[in-house]
A and B are shown apart, each in its own frame.
Chain A
Amino acid sequence: MTDLTKLTISAALDGMAAGDFSARELTAAHITAMEAANVLNAFITKTPEIAVEAATASDSRRAKGETRKIDGIPLAIKDLFCTKDVLTTAASHILDGFVPKYESTVSSNLWASGAVMLGKTNLDEFAMGSSNETSYYGEVINPWRREGSDSPLVPGGSSGGSASAVASFSAMAAIGTDTGGSIRQPASFTGIVGMKPTYGRCSRWGVVAFASSLDQAGPMTRTVRDAAIMLEAMAGFDPKDSTSVDMPVPDFEAALSGDIRGLKVGIPAEYRLDGMSPEVQALWDQGIDWMKAAGAEIIDISLPHTKYALPAYYIIAPAEASSNLARYDGVRFGLRVEGDDLDDMYARTRAEGFGAEVQRRLLIGTYALSAGYYDAYYLKAQKVRSRIADDFKQAYQKVDVILTPTAPSPAFGFGEKGDDPLAMYLNDVFTGPASLAGLPGISVPAGLSSDGLPLGLQLLGKPFDEETVFRAAGVLENAAAFTATPNDWWRG
């Protein structure tokens, strides 16, 4: 029998439809793979019992002819999504023991489509990080290693556990969240597909908030087609989220026509950074050639405020976070550290409950909103954000999609970025601008670095035009023909 974990979602759905295997068998194979990959630390909480139960229910639906869209597909859920009666941590000490009594809209949508939950994946604490080094539950390890090396690499972040789970074939797909690149960058680091839809496409209800105006859920899969299938199951209007957009969800899979003749692909000059890795540059050039070869029209564009995106992002996101994370105060859920009085209890709880990076961002965010500094920092950053959004608006008058690298480098080793938060922040240099503008973006694995690590290319689209992004991504995926997988050293 074939290794069921190596299937794509579309192949698995076909296999179950044909009666080649059951949802229970598919799920069992993934539970085994998940357990075998313990060393990667991709999961904070595994839920094999729930998975088996859900797979059994799926099989009985299928038997009755009541099969749903992604019935029986075993998934990993980033532990930022609240899951009813299942521990939800945001990878933070401060949410110790928190068991929500509600289910996030996105995960509810997936269960309603028949999906199976394998467990909750590790992440940077409160999704603040680009390497998964800030989790209270320990680092996640990238299934990929440099050629000839045994030293562990980061999976990227913040959705590093989700990326690692998918890349290690522990889950058929995972869901992540992307605030400044948290789906796309780890997808690039682990050789998988990661899609951040347009802001407002997926409900944020029940997702632990990091930065409300930026957070967006999305799928992490091994193929573009799987990403399209997953997004369709996740997305949809939610009256419980005021920023959710009341628009029908298109048939994303149907958009994968494979035909991009005449598509206008923009190449932004400002993304050619000084000192960018020559391999990343080379891969980007290669991507341009692939698109051209497929009949697309390549157009040079300018996004003049690109370099200001990260500084703006690192004011706006922490400012929103400083307010969003005020609710973690030891009163209604999670960790409480007793103190002399209420304020002391707050201060001790939050000092012990939040890790260093989260604290750093909360302080920056608090400062940026404080009296006398609001105009200079927060307001200024939001104005710059308007200019960045406007850059894209201008560009999209001329082009349909924009092609860029996903990240400035392949996966790096633990501690390699040293103590300097800024060095880490630069990971988001290509993903951050689209987040600020709320645009959809996808990372597609497109090649290997000289030391054998995956590199992704990013396609950005117009608001709510995920279909074109998927279509272009499908062509890019075909052209790149990326079939490399990490050797499964973790199975021991």
Chain B
Amino acid sequence: MVAQNIFFAIIALAMVASAVRVVTTKNILHAALYLVVVLAGVAAQFIITGAEFTGVTQVLVYIGAVIVLFLFGIMLTRARIGREEHVDGERRWIAGVVALMLFAVMTYALVDAFDTEALDARAVLEPQTTEMVSDAIFHDYLIPFEAVSFLLLAALIGAIVVARRE
């Protein structure tokens, strides 16, 4: 498990550094690209813990779809692309304090709950998660799965009505 821990630490540090840059960079396009690093880091963490399906989905959905949507949103609207001086909110210090407090509470709760518990090594070494995910979707979560497909239909129709030019 030592190798996993080392890789976890490297990826986690890269994620934290990029996450800080997402909110401090003055260029909105750069912020979106730093977000790519954070989300790719999440995907890598999933793969380290043996959840390869979730990791791949993370790449497909977040980097492949959500970030591309962000970039299109930035380019297709009238937002300025490039360095801008006034992208910081006025209350950024209060926001920072709130974020730190939230971080403290969550860290305390997580450390208190899981402390030294280790992940079951077999689960990591014998990944079968894609199979388990598909079984779960079509067995236990069949109704939510159908509901999600319906939700997509409704969202599609609504989005067309709201966005179409008249």
Q: Do A and B come from one complex?
A: no
Q: Give the interface of B toward A (CB within 8 A).
A: none
